[in-house]
Amino acid sequence: MKIARIAVLVSGGGTNLQALIDAQNNGIINSGRIELVISNNPDAYALTRAANAGIASVVITRKHCGSQRAFEEAVVQALENSNIDLIVLAGFMSILSEDFTSRYPERILNVHPSLIPSFCGAGYYGLRVHEEALAYGVKVTGATVHFVNEIPDGGKIIFQKAVEIQDGDTPEILQRRVMEQAEWKILPEAVEIVSKQLMS
């Protein structure tokens, strides 16, 4: 059976990367394999997670490349060098241009910590998403896995999972619950389904 070659793009701690590595080890993901981790932050703990799992990694920063275009060209080169089939954005803090996303139609996945179309789009990432959900007073939030296109959080939805907001939630507490109950479950499931489709 042909297995999809996966690259995971990261910027920070890599908790979603770890969820994918664990899912791979537990057989939840068996139609794809993480072959490469790309970080735009040389200090990202995600790079340590990759090293611990024996996964090749590369650091590519916009600052070092000089422009967004040069940065994206360097990322494309790294992806091509590793014959990547599927790209997963896992806490990747950089908006990718239409030039980049149009190269990989329905081959880039992202996980977003809300139920799209709520609390999403440009500027909605990290704790801000949970701050806004709490400020608005919604009773249910969650996470969404979607394909990536040129519109931030605008691609076709693959999976969503709801998470209840509880009395006394802070943005940090809510962020953790959304990760544990939603992101870390639906991201590996989506990666398996899309990997299988790509290889069939």
Task: Give the largest CA-CA distance in the chain.
Answer: 49
Question: How far lies 119's CA from each of 44, 109, 116, 199, in Å?
Answer: 25, 18, 7, 33
Question: 71 by DSSP, 3-state: which?
Answer: helix
Report the C-alpha gap between 126 and 111 in whole angstroms: 11
Residue 81, classified by CB atoms within 10 Å of its CB into exposed (0-12), middle (13-18) or buried (19+), is exposed
Helical segments of the chain, H only: 15-25, 46-52, 62-65, 68-81, 98-101, 127-136, 171-178, 184-199
* Distance of alpha carbon 182 from alpha carbon 146, whole angstroms: 14
Identify whether 64 is a catalytic site residue: no
- Identify which of 194, 13, 175 has the alpha carbon closest to the alpha carbon of residue 86: 194
Catalytic residue numbers read: 112
